[in-house]
A and B are shown apart, each in its own frame.
Chain A
Amino acid sequence: GNSVTQMEGPVTLSEEAFLTINCTYTATGYPSLFWYVQYPGEGLQLLLKATKADDKGSNKGFEATYRKETTSFHLEKGSVQVSDSAVYFCALSGEWGAQKLVFGQGTRLTINP
């Protein structure tokens, strides 16, 4: 079945550091890929998405590129801020639609000033 694997956390960085959170997936067909973010005490929010191979999703300085050849969707940000501290979830939905979002295990990110 479909699955998502994220790099294990927690990840701790200093402000203005470069961020990469790895995400790889296993899926049949051509899934859409997502990054969701969960700030402390809140629900998940969609951060960015990509719906086909080589698409790049971007939002709030974060980027991720849909790489079909490596089945990856790594999240990157050039210069992180303390306010980026949160749990980040990679997810996919199958070509049958978004009825089932399959999530990775989440990566907790802490940014120190």
Chain B
Amino acid sequence: DTAVSQTPKYLVTQMGNDKSIKCEQNLGHDTMYWYKQDSKKFLKIMFSYNNKELIINETVPNRFSPKSPDKAHLNLHINSLELGDSAVYFCASSQGPRQETQYFGPGTRLLVL
């Protein structure tokens, strides 16, 4: 039973394309997150949703648009992909916005050529 799952695991695409990454959690959590991990392993939060409502939006380009159809899903759509978008993207969830333990998905490795 995978708690937090992401698809796809790997994504290789050309510059300028639009792509989506999906995330689902079966933990019954209210809050979900997207993180970006760069090539040096530095991990930084991008977005957070609580009960389908955006609560954190860090300084992320408008080309990145999260969508939460329900509280178990948080998808990430990226328009006009750039070389610098190459990274590993992690989805995570927590019981609530003030619950301290976050559960991470396995990551999606995005390579933009």
Task: Give per-residue flags for A39-66: 1 if the beta carbon is below 8 A from chain B beta carbons, else 0.
Answer: 0011111100101000000000000000
B4, B48, B103: the one within 8 Å of A99 (CB): B48
Task: Give per-residue flags for B28-64: 1 if the beta carbon is below 8 A from chain A beta carbons, else 0.
Answer: 0001000000001111110010000001100000000
Task: Give per-residue flags for B49-83: 1 if the beta carbon is below 8 A from chain A beta carbons, else 0.
Answer: 00000011000000000000000000000000000
Q: Are A97 and B98 in contact (CB under 8 A)?
A: yes
Q: Are A44 and B98 in contact (CB under 8 A)?
A: no
B1 at the interface (CB under 8 A from A): no
Alpha-carbon distance A105/B103, docked complex (angstroms): 19
B41, B101, B105: the one within 8 Å of A43 (CB): B105
Alpha-carbon distance A103/B44, docked complex (angstroms): 7
Alpha-carbon distance A93/B103, docked complex (angstroms): 15
A101 at the interface (CB under 8 A from B): yes
The 3 closest A-B pairs by CB, nearest first: A97-B98, A43-B104, A106-B41
Closest chain A residue, CB of each to CB of B109: A41
Task: Give per-residue flags for A74-113: 1 if the beta carbon is below 8 A from chain B beta carbons, else 0.
Answer: 0000000000000101000100111111010110100000
CB distance from A60 to the nearest CB of B (A): 16
Q: Are A98 and B90 in contact (CB under 8 A)?
A: no
18 contacts between A and B (CB under 8 A): A32-B100, A43-B92, A43-B104, A43-B106, A44-B43, A44-B104, A46-B101, A49-B100, A89-B43, A93-B100, A97-B99, A98-B99, A98-B100, A99-B97, A100-B45, A103-B42, A105-B40, A106-B42
A34 at the interface (CB under 8 A from B): yes
CB distance from B43 to the nearest CB of A (A): 4
Q: A87 with B97: in contact, given A43-B104, A43-B105 (CB under 8 Å)?
A: no
Give the chain A neighbours of B43 by CB distance below 8 A. 44, 89, 103, 106
Q: Are A105 and B42 in contact (CB under 8 A)?
A: yes
A87, A93, A100: the one within 8 Å of B41 (CB): A87
Give the chain A neighbours of B44 by CB distance below 8 A. 103
Give the chain B neighbours of A43 by CB distance below 8 A. 4, 90, 92, 104-107
